[in-house]
Structure formats: C-alpha cells, structure tokens
Structure 1
C-alpha cells in the first residue's frame, strides 16, 4: 500500500524549495513515503519531516530535510527552527522548519551542501563549472 500524500502541491514554500532543488545538475523529484524527495542517484533533500516524541510522530509539514556537512550539523541543531528528523537523523540529516521569514539564500546553501554530498564527482564538477564567472 502506498503512503498517502503528506503535502499540498500548491504550497508556496514547496514551490520555492522545488525551484532551487531542481536547478541542480540532473536533479529530479519523486514522491517518497508521501513527501517530495529531490535526488540525482541518491536523495539530497526531502520536503516535510517528523520527529517521534513519546511514541507519537509530530509532523513538520513545512520543513526541509538536508544532509549538511558534519561540521555544520551541530551548529544547525542549536537553532530553534532545526531538528533531528525521524529515521534520517541517525544518518546525519537535519530538518529545517520553513516559514515566511526563511532566509532563502541559506536554504540554497544547505541544498548545495547536501547535493554535493550525494550527487557524485561528475555532477559536482558540472555544478562548479556553472558557478564560475
């Protein structure tokens, strides 16, 4: 049985995440466990996550899950808007709650870091070639 969809395709925060994430070389989107997942060979970001508190999952519907550089992870988790997501947190992933005041430059940087950790050498070289003046 497939997971129910756990997002609204018209969500303006999802549209912003989607525009950034799909701008990376060879990036695509699929639905995984009811949430949008952005990937190349491996997933580099999810939209929406949850945490398990006292045996109950609390949804973070408007959040972005990324795999940051290990050096950045602890600093991110000190911020109130960040959390260790269920299932993926043990592998180093971080959830970032999004809202109207989100710093989209920072979100772009987090997506970039996560992409670089998962996309492979050829795709990262393509990304770097795009960013040169």
Structure 2
C-alpha cells in the first residue's frame, strides 16, 4: 500500500509559484519537483529553492555563508521551521511586489551552492540575465 501524497500547499498556477518557476527554470539542468506538497527546484538532483507557505508566501533558499548574518538582519528574511536546521533561510515575498531583484540574487547564489561543476560551467558560458521588472 502506497502512502497518501502530501496535499499541495500552493496550486501549481499560483502567481508566486509561477514567478519563482520562471526564475529557477532558466538555470542549466534545472528541474521542478513536487515534494511534500511544495514546488521545489533542483540543479539536477540537488534542491536549491522551494516555495513555502510561511507568512502567506516565502521562497526558501541556501544562502551564501558570507551573507547569512546580513540577510537575517532584514525584516523579511527568517529561518524556516524545517529547512533552517540545515542552514537554509526563507524570504517573505509578495508575488506582485517582490523584492524580486534580491530574490534573483538569492536564487543565483543558492543554485551555485549546489550545482555540479558542469552546470556551473554551462551557467558561466551562458549567464542567466536578470528579469527584474
């Protein structure tokens, strides 16, 4: 008997999920995987971001260790309940107002923390262009 799947915490067409998907899927070998009811984004098999439901909407990411303390001084950045034990942080995000320029930087740093050498080479050869509006 297979276990019951986790209920989806966000619909796949939620504006926040769609915006994060558009940002994450630009990276080499990026994949979207539904895990524990949430949309996660991976560099191959390694997860680098997920859309959470903390504070109405948040993006969970792996911070650059040198930026972690500065990020935690922001009012919109926090340690998420489960992933925080593994060094991850989350940023509260409004799907309309962002802060999307910062989110793009955080996702890029998170991807680079888990990507394989070949993925980084592909990224450096064809960099992701920011899409901040």
TM-score, with normalisation over the residues of structure 1? 0.86
* 1:46 matched to 2:50: yes
Q: Structure 2 unaligned runs (5+)?
A: 129-133
Q: 2:59 is matched with which residue?
A: 64
Deviation string, structure 1 residues 70-91 (Cα, Å, up to 9, x no partner): 1111111111111101121121
Deviation string, structure 1 residues 18-77 (Cα, Å, up to 9, x no partner): 00001100001011111000002210000015xxxxxxxxx3341100001111111111
> Greater strand percent: which structure?
1
Moved over 3 A (4+): none
* 1:29 matched to 2:26: no
Q: CA RMSD in A?
A: 1.5
Q: Structure 1 unaligned runs (5+)?
A: 50-58
Paired residues, what number? 123
TM-score, with normalisation over the residues of structure 2? 0.86
